[in-house]
Amino acid sequence: MEFGTQELYRDVNLFVGPEDRIGLAGPNGSGKSTILKLMSGELEPTRGSVDRRRGTCVAYLPQTGAVVGERTVLEEAMTAFKHLDEVQAEMIELEHRMKDANMPADELQEVLDRYAVLQHHFGHDAYDRQPRAEKVLMSLGFAEEDFHKQTRTQSGGFQVRLALARMLLEEPDVLLLDEPTNYLDIRSIEWLQEYLSTFKGAVVMIAHDRYLLDAVVQKVWAIESHKLFIFPGDYSKYLDDKVRRDERQLKKFEEQQQFIKRTEQFIAQYKGRKDTAPRAMSRQKMLDKLERVEAPETMPVIRIRFPESDEVYGKAVDLRAVSKSFGPKQVLKDVNLVVGGGEKIGLFGANGQGKTTLLRIVAGKLAPSSGEAWTSQKTQVAYYEQGAEETLNPEMTVLEAAADAGAGFTENELKGILGTFLFSGDALDKKAAVLSGGERSRLAIIRALLTPSNLLILDEPTNHLDIQSREILFEAIRRYRRTVVFAAHDRFMLDELADKTVRIESGKAILFPGNYSYAAGRVVKHGAASPKAQVQRTKQGGQRTKSEVGSSKSHVNGPKSRAHGPKSGVRNRHSSLVNRQSGDPVSDIERRLREIGVEHDAARQAMDFNRVRELADERRYLEAELQARKADEVEGGAGHDGNV
């Protein structure tokens, strides 16, 4: 396949089976989306052919530019069932023919047989169309008030989600998905993950959510150095294999380079002498014919630390009974949250629940309606907010935009930083106006990281970033030694970076003393299912068996357990209290907190500061555990499904 003079790959032979689960991997610009377009028929190959079995229904979801009609949201979703309208029209026509008293018996029998076939098909799928459509729409983040909105007036991301809903309702034979999670919140991503795991057809997708890839795909098509390789297993297995392959290839490359160097030295030394010139010429011919081993493609290594302001000891942020309303709508209510200096806190929750509002209050960009938002006097904030890429000066080049934020860095230092984030060569001179969405996002994040700070606030920084760019961002955040508060729908980011997590839901902020997998394991999950299964469950009263509830957990965090709770030293000292079998563990914790208050005062009076520090650690741990257990009582103890 070629674009102009650029060849993406050649002599590629691929096959998709009826229930294959395939993930596409490769760097930006390698041609992953092009493969999906070739399979969908949107593009034709430069050479070769793409064959589809006759009658196969293929549905393709592009990253952008999804096609929707001049309808409301619900009407657009219902177009997935237009084939049933055709069936119904034919049934009505057959009913009219049956009324013909003069119809020959054999012809009448044919009509009756055809009608029976159509009636079976229509009755199986037709009568729950609207409930199924509404279920899928709500599972993908649409609210009931969205159902009657005109689709053409909505954002591109809104339309892509709607196109995905319509596609899932169509139940095609093959789903081609190009970054389907770009506009989904964490709840919708988990629902989609469950749906794809039970989908009866084939799936070929490009995704930047590692947990989604690990949970769904069983085969990886990897584009490396203009070649396409096929690997069995999930995405994590592919990465493990790639590390080993790269190590072997690097060893071969280095050995060959040493051989070439020795041979060139021999040629240079002996080609001028008459008696050894033939040998030198023979070596030169051998070198000319030598098939060169290419160095493996490697990800840039971050060796820099971004500018950090003075460290904040103790509390960096303290929110006390913070509430925020916009007109009659209350977004946050009585939020209490303490962030310690150097902690990394991850916020998660459904779209529209108040994560961005909370981050803006922490950043000092928004005042609470009531309560107090306190930050240390030493606090210096660097803030990446959603849409920051749209505020870039379109006339600035990439290098100029970085220099504008990174005062004090030399040009060579800035080029090194930009190169780490995949900007190098001619890309440095590109103006912001011509950058892609992902490139603009990377540049805006770089500008935030170049700002001297001791409180880094990031609002969904992984949007529009591919997996390689995400890994680079994660490593930069790991190396940042000050306080970080971020909101994300990327479960891998929440697991890898967060010391603690906060779920924002219904105006409340619930703190968990661990990463996302730890938090997700504390509540009962909705058992995601296909649209049909969800409707059937609703008809049966919405009750699920224990096996349904349990099975839904197994897919939430991918096949590997990544949960980690509080720091092990703190957890182990107090686990006997938290895990003790008791009639009322919440009362046990509350009683111990009262005891700690007394012991803490006594230790301070005795100037036993080691004991003071131990008690403070224990109190922080137990307060977080108490809040989490109270959340469990609200969401799990009453027998209701909890949402994460």
The Cβ of residue 189 has, within 10 Å, a number of other Cβ atoms equal to 21
> pTM, whole model, 2 decimals?
0.72
- How much is the mean pLDDT over the chain? 81
Whether residue 512 sits in one domain with residue 616: no
DSSP state of 460: S
Q: Is there a domain that residue 114 lies in?
A: no
Q: Is the pLDDT of residue 608 over 60?
A: yes
pLDDT at 525 (0 to 100): 38
- Whether the Cβ atoms of residue 432 and residue 396 lie closer than 8 Å to each other: yes
Range of the domain at 375: 302-523
As given in the structure block, the two tokens for residue 349 are 């929750």
pLDDT at 549 (0 to 100): 30
3-state secondary structure of 382: strand
Split into its structural domains, the chain has a count of 2
As given in the structure block, the two tokens for residue 620 are 């922080």
Whether residue 510 sits in one domain with residue 590: no
Instruction: Give dist(CA 187, CA 189) in Å, integer.
Output: 5
Return the CATH number at 486. 3.40.50.300
Which one has a higher pLDDT value, 193 or 75? 193
Q: Say which range, 68-77, 228-237, 264-273, has the weakest mean pLDDT.
A: 68-77
Whether residue 479 sits in one domain with residue 350: yes
pLDDT at 568 (0 to 100): 46
Confidence of residue 492 (pLDDT cuts 50, 70, 90): very high
Whether residue 461 sits in one domain with residue 368: yes
Which one has a higher pLDDT value, 337 or 227? 337
Instruction: Give dist(CA 205, CA 168) in Å, integer.
Output: 14
Report pLDDT digits (tens) over 129-168.
788 889 999 998 888 888 988 888 787 778 888 989 998 9
Whether residue 505 sits in one domain with residue 570: no
Instruction: Give dist(CA 416, CA 423) in Å, integer.
Output: 9
Q: Is there a domain that residue 488 lies in?
A: yes
CA angle 207, 208, 211 (to 5 degrees): 90
pLDDT at 562 (0 to 100): 63
Q: Is there a domain that residue 72 lies in?
A: no
Whether residue 593 sits in one domain with residue 455: no
Summarize the confidence of residues 610-617 as an average pLDDT: 72
Summarize the confidence of residues 355-384 as an average pLDDT: 92
Q: Is there a domain that residue 450 lies in?
A: yes
pLDDT at 641 (0 to 100): 40
Q: Say which range, 354-368, 434-448, 484-498, has the weakest mean pLDDT.
A: 434-448
Q: Is there a domain that residue 429 lies in?
A: yes
Report pLDDT digits (tens) over 546-591.
333 333 333 333 444 466 665 544 444 454 455 444 557 788 888 8
Whether residue 576 sits in one domain with residue 484: no
Report pLDDT digits (tens) over 198-246.
899 999 999 989 999 999 999 999 988 788 889 999 999 999 998 899 8
Q: Say which range, 34-43, 52-61, 62-71, 180-189, has the weakest mean pLDDT.
A: 62-71
Greatest pairwise CA separation for the chain in angstroms: 110
Q: Is the pLDDT of residue 8 over 90?
A: no
Q: Is the pLDDT of residue 344 over 70?
A: yes
Whether residue 585 sits in one domain with residue 517: no
- State the Rg of the chain over Cα: 30
Whether residue 599 sits in one domain with residue 460: no
Q: Which of 523, 545, 576 is the last residue of a domain?
A: 523
Confidence of residue 300 (pLDDT cuts 50, 70, 90): low
